[in-house]
Chain A
Amino acid sequence: MEDLILYITIFVLAIFVGFEVITKVPATLHTPLMSGANAISGITIVGALISAGSHHSFLTTLLGFLALVFATINVVGGFLVTHRMLEMFRRKN
């Protein structure tokens, strides 16, 4: 129970930090912000790695493997496409 309160505290504080930081992103960069956010939500890859590699049962390994592929697409694709867009903004200025 104590742990749960601790995690909820972290969750709420992180949301506040998120609001502070993200309201400062200009409208011009909202699309790269979203694709970058996609990449960050790929953090679930951390859980997928353990599920896919721990060989608990066929089912959990399969779920973990699929999750790993999905999350890797998100992480790699997300950061790359964000980079591609941000370079376009930097080029001319």
Chain B
Amino acid sequence: MEKVVVNIAYLLSASLFIFGLKNLSHPRTAVRGNLLGASGMLIAVLVTLIDKRIVDFKLIIAGLIIGGLIGTLLALKVQMTAMPQLVAVFNGLGGGASAMVAGSAFFESELSSLSADFLTATVASAIIGSVTFFGSGVAFGKLQGLINERPMRYPGDQLLKLTVGAVTLLTGYMIITAPEFSILYWVILIFGGFLGILLTISIGGADMPVVIALLNSYSGLAASATGFVLENTALIISGSLVGASGIILTNLMCKAMNRSLLNVLFGGFGEVAQTKDDIYEGKVKSTSPEEVALLLESARRVVIVPGYGMAVAQAQFPVRDLFNYLTERGVEVDFAIHPVAGRMPGHMNVLLAEVDIPYDRMKELDQINPYFEQTDVSIVIGANDVVNPLAETDPKSPIAGMPVLQVWKSKTVIVIKRSLSPGFAGIPNPLFAMDNTLMLFSDAKKAVEEILRSLKEQ
């Protein structure tokens, strides 16, 4: 009887997760969706507490309080710019927790009762969980600037990854055939962790959106595997929802860079030799905040293209003021957001939402590209590779085929940038030398503030 109640409650939780995710399809209903998900989790936790196997609540209360406090603190204190780091931490903790739950179930079981199914699921959970935990640790370090952001390459690196991967799987196979050597469980965790580190450390900062999305997916798959270990449907369903979500986002990010997942994981992007063709010579025109203000004064349609450089310079606040000023004067202002504009999927949208830019002004690549021709002024702030026309014109370019924002089709393009230095792809950008492009060499925040001041003075 108790088991029936528990299972029905788990079914209810899983349904609430699905309804919750469904409500994320629009910003208006999304808050409710998140609350639905949270109530699903509450139900799952409460119903688990009536389980007869629980004999001591002291540790449980302690764990809930410690975890709850840390979680609350992280969630309330985190800066929106640091959201990728936080998600990396959460990915890691989720993967780690699932691996440990599976491990605990493994050590609780009598040797004679262990089936091959149970052992396979335990091994899967241990491998995925520890790859996720340690891989996320490295991703966090790179995003936070604790580890060099450049991809770490060394002779024989692919072979080493392959070997460690093979050894991890082999150890997993050994534990399935000979579970009495339970110490092998720890060996799997160590090799899995090593594999996670090797896989992530060779990936550059520009590819972090893909890595974070992929690790997100792994943390779900680890929960699913643990669901197989515990024969718990709530874990299986929730884990596969998260797994699917992560895979979809990974795919979108890869498409946004026109690269395959294998290329991202093993290709080593961002180590391209910097070609110094002087395409800029004599063609780059620089401008002043006053001139930009004059151009904006007579513009009817303006598109702002933000890149991560905008957030680094904390320029989103003056950008919001500029947006408000222009909008109040009847200018139509849109934000063109490339999928990899931030450091994780949707990151730039969150940074803009934080400064109260309405979401219906944030346009995706496919939505905005047809409108550049009717745009008077496009302002590129801290973005580079995502507005590089070489992606469309040079099939040999490292970014060839990557969908880009076609800002050059607008009447005038203003590029706010400190210098002509290349972006993550390490290649020059012919946009800067185009006839209709004006470069405003400055710090993004200062530049936008000065443009706004000139506008107000006129």
Contacts and interface: CB of A to CB of B under 8 A. Distances in A.
A92 B356 contact: yes
Contacts of A85: 80, 83, 350, 353
Contact of B249 (A30, A74, A87): A30
Interface in B200-240: 212-213, 216, 219-220, 222-224, 226-240
B74 A37 contact: no
A25 B44 contact: no
A75 B25 contact: no
B425 interface: no
Interface in B21-70: 21-22, 24-28, 30-31, 33-35, 37-38, 41, 44-45, 48-49, 51, 53-57, 59-60, 62-64, 66-68, 70
Contacts of B239: 41, 43-44
B435 interface: no
Interface in A30-77: 30-57, 59-61, 63-77
Contacts of B213: 34
Interface string A11-35: 1101101110111111111111111
B350 A68 contact: no
A80 B108 contact: no
B370 interface: no
Most chain B Cβ neighbours within 10 Å, of A11, A43, A76, A89: A43
A42 B241 contact: no
Contact of A49 (B17, B60, B238, B244): B60
Contacts of B424: none
B90 A64 contact: no
A32 to B, nearest CB: 7
Most chain B Cβ neighbours within 10 Å, of A30, A38, A45: A30
A3 B117 CA distance: 10
B75 A76 contact: yes
A18 B30 contact: no
Contacts of A7: 227-228, 231, 233, 236
Contacts of A36: 20-21, 24, 33-34, 37
Nearest to A31: B346
A71 B230 contact: no
A50 B54 contact: yes
A75 B53 contact: no
Interface stretch (B93-101, B156-164, B303-311, B395-403): B93-101
A38 B60 CA distance: 21
Interface in B8-24: 10, 13-14, 17-18, 20-22, 24
Q: On chain A, which size bracket covers the interface?
A: 35 or more
A28 B359 contact: yes
Given A27-B346, A70-B93, A89 B104 contact: no
Contact of B38 (A15, A65, A71, A79): A79
B240 A11 contact: yes
Nearest to B129: A44
Contacts of B234: 43, 46
B172 interface: no
A63 B107 contact: yes
A67 B337 CA distance: 38
A78 B189 CA distance: 25
Given A34-B213, A65-B59, A43 B362 contact: no
Contact of B232 (A47, A60, A68): A47
B457 interface: no
Given A32-B24, A76-B72, A38 B90 contact: yes
Contact of B90 (A3, A10, A61, A78): A78
B72 A44 contact: no
Contact of B349 (A12, A29, A40): A29
A39 to B, nearest CB: 7
A37 to B, nearest CB: 4
B87 interface: yes
Nearest to B354: A88
Contact of B220 (A1, A41, A63, A81): A41
Contacts of A55: 55-56
Contact of A81 (B14, B86, B230): B86
B181 to A, nearest CB: 16
Given A50-B53, A79-B38, A93-B359, A69 B105 contact: no
Most chain B Cβ neighbours within 10 Å, of A33, A57, A65, A70: A70
The 10 closest A-B CB pairs, nearest first, are A72-B67, A30-B346, A18-B244, A77-B71, A76-B71, A53-B54, A68-B63, A80-B75, A38-B90, A30-B345
11 contacts: A21-B25, A28-B27, A44-B226, A60-B107, A63-B107, A68-B59, A69-B66, A75-B67, A77-B72, A80-B72, A93-B27
Interface of A: 1, 3-4, 7, 10-12, 14-15, 17-19, 21-57, 59-61, 63-93
Given A33-B346, A66-B97, A68-B63, 4 more contacts: A22-B248, A29-B346, A32-B346, A71-B94
